[in-house]
Structure 1
Amino acid sequence: MSDRLITHLRHVDIAVPDYAKQREFYTQLWGLTPVAEDSGLVYLAAEGSPEQYVVRLRKDADKRLDLIAYGAASREDVDTMAAQLGTAGVQLVSEPDVLQTLGGGYGFRFFDCDGRTVEISTEVENRQHRRIEDREAIPVRLSHVVVNSPDTARTQAFYEQHLGFATSDKLTHPYVGDLMTFMRCNPQHHSFAVAKAPHASLHHVSFEMRGLDEYMRGTGRLLRAGTKMIWGPGRHLAGDNTFSYFIDPHGNTMEYTTELEQLDEDSWHPSLYDVTDLEVQDQWGTANPFDELVGTASFNDPDPGVYVAPPV
């Protein structure tokens, strides 16, 4: 897409009441590395990723999604996006400026159409990362983030019109209509998706593993530790990626995945996948059926952070 200014997903920032418990889960079980920490704030990196951090945890009285951060190629692109959003009437949280978070850079924040905070940045210092070794079952990088919206068509239109995302595929139900829209900002099948839900909230965050063996070993580690897995292990049809969905200590859904499809954007045409087809849900047939309990868990709690910018 010639006018696309967003390049990739950088990080997802979450606030929780029990900071110590959440920090322990992501560092001791999930496999992320703390790289900087202040009072009630920790930056967590994926060892295989050049991003300074892929998750930021913050202590707060409420559980909330603080923000989703995306990258841009240059200051000019950041300034262009901020100007275009402002002209379109999108509410900016901050004007383009030097960032005060880990790795620095230059960026700005705004509220999307559901009120969640989004950050666009460039010139963030790369972190020294490494190759993930054979059988090393820790995340290589952040893969994608999925949000819940009471109006998926509106959210899809916002990300297409204002941020240059393209729709890759959709999940549909013959009686309910569109359930999930997969969207991309580069050839990866999706770095963002929007799911139909009663309220705005975080649906899930996904982390890419090195390969199938590492994906299964990571899944097994979480299961042995008694972490609740709500769906998996299996392989979706849309995106062709593996999935194991777990619940973190505060009820957020987190996913291990691998082998997410890379698209030829010039020739790709979106498909509509009927979720009543079991092959759509899981090509392997190894995962538990997607039922009401799985769906309810993915709805998460209504986010009190809607239209409330995080303090950091």
Structure 2
Amino acid sequence: MTERLVSHLRYAALAVPNFEQERSFFSTYWGLTEVHAEEGLSYFAAEGSSEPFILRLRDDEKRIDLVGFAVEGRDDIHALADKLRAEDVQFVHEPQELDGFSGGYGFRVFDGDGRVLEFSTGYQTREARKIREREPIPAKLSHVVFNSANLAQSAQWYIDHLDFSISDSLIRPDGVDMMHFMRCNATHHSLAIAQGPHHSLHHLSFEMRGIEEWMRGAGKILRSGARMIWGPGRHNAGDNTFAYFLSPAGNTIEYTTELAVLDEDTWSPHRLNIKEVSNQDQWGTAQEMSELIARESFNDIDKGLFVAPPV
């Protein structure tokens, strides 16, 4: 089994031009808890997660600010930083005490496409609680998906530098790769990368307690007036349920549950043909994936590449 220095996904941070509207949506409808706020900056936690926050919103031009991953301890932080430095990865800042909300110790780098990644340890955690039966709120952040104009190059960066592994791939009928599902632990994927027309956010996925809570959550979001762009259904890759919506800022966000946990010693990646409907949705309850649906998640070109966010 691969020994990795990155332990798990912590949070996603987005900048949005309609900050107050997006902030209200995630707290009022999506089911996250605002745990800290400053001028033009808001941090949201999931009640089922001990992470101090899983989503950060910032008032600015639309972009991915950064994605945060956890590392077990300071020795591992320095080992990872030394590795990345030796591999000529571009740093935003070196390992240091982090002075933002929840603190910790860590560093930031640009990935191969120019997105900012943070690796941290020693941050303050919060007390998680069990999500109640039929409570339609997220338990945690499940995964982050990027669009890339060069899928192979983008995915290889995470393999080479962070020791991520490909769990499964979606392919076209002619065998061309369309999407890689990537893991940093036994969970099927905490990161996925899709072939798109440009670099951008594809979607953020939030895990629910179970099927009942997932369905009730989807109904709640539909009643809020948000548009479901795909679902409800059940993917083949990862075996997880899906219901995709558009946030007020035009970002795709997903409710999911039951994402597969793998035996990494025995798992072999699958290459799944996107034209086989059961590979898109095992249940057949969601509309068949089409170019129109796919286009919804191409999103706006990320203008934050190789530009560090101010916080």
The TM-score normalised by the length of structure 1 is: 0.98
Aligned to 2:276: 277
CA distance, structure 2, for counterparts of residue 291 and residue 100 of structure 1 = 45
Question: SS in structure 1 opposite 2:79?
Answer: helix
Give the Å deviation of 1:3.
3.0
In the other structure, the counterpart of 1:45 is 45
Name the residue aligned to 1:222: 221
Give the C-alpha shift of residue 289 in structure 1: 1.3
Q: State the Cα distance separating 1:2 from its structure 2 match.
A: 4.3
Aligned mates of 1:103, 1:204 — CA distance in 2 = 25
Q: Measure the CA separation in 1 of the matches of 2:187 and 2:295.
A: 28
Counterpart code for 1:131: K
- TM-align CA RMSD: 0.8
The answer as to whether partners of 2:2 and 2:163 remain within 8 angstroms in 1 is no
Match of 1:172 in 2: 171
Shift of 1:256: 0.2
Shift of 1:82: 1.0
Q: Whole-Å Cα distance in 2 between the matches of residues 124 and 177 of structure 1?
A: 41
Amino acid across the alignment from 2:44 = L
Give 2:6's aligned residue. Answer: 6
Q: Which amino acid aligns with 1:279?
A: S
Structure 1 runs of 4+ off > 6 angstroms? none
The alignment-based identity, stated in percent, is 53
Aligned to 2:236: 237
The alpha-carbon deviation at position 25 of structure 1 amounts to 0.8
User: How do 1:1-312 residues align onto structure 2 when only pairs under 5 Å count?
Assistant: 1-60=1-60, 62-175=61-174, 177-312=176-311
- Distance in 1 between residues matched to 2:250 and 2:293, nearest whole Å: 12
1:102-129 CA distance string (max 9 Å, x none): 1111000000000000000011111112
Q: Secondary structure at the match of 2:260?
A: coil
Query: Is 2:65–2:308's contact at 8 Å kept on the other side of the alignment?
Result: yes
Q: Under a length normalisation based on structure 2, what TM-score does the superposition of the two structures give?
A: 0.99
C-alpha separation in 2, matches of 1:2 and 1:295: 33
Amino acid at match of 2:291: E
Match of 1:162, SS state, is: helix
SS in 2 for 1:50: coil
| Count of residue pairs the alignment pairs up | 311
Instruction: State the distance in 1 between where 2:91 and 2:155 align.
Output: 19
Using the TM superposition, give the Cα deviation of residue 177 of structure 1 relative to its aligned residue in structure 2, in angstroms: 1.1
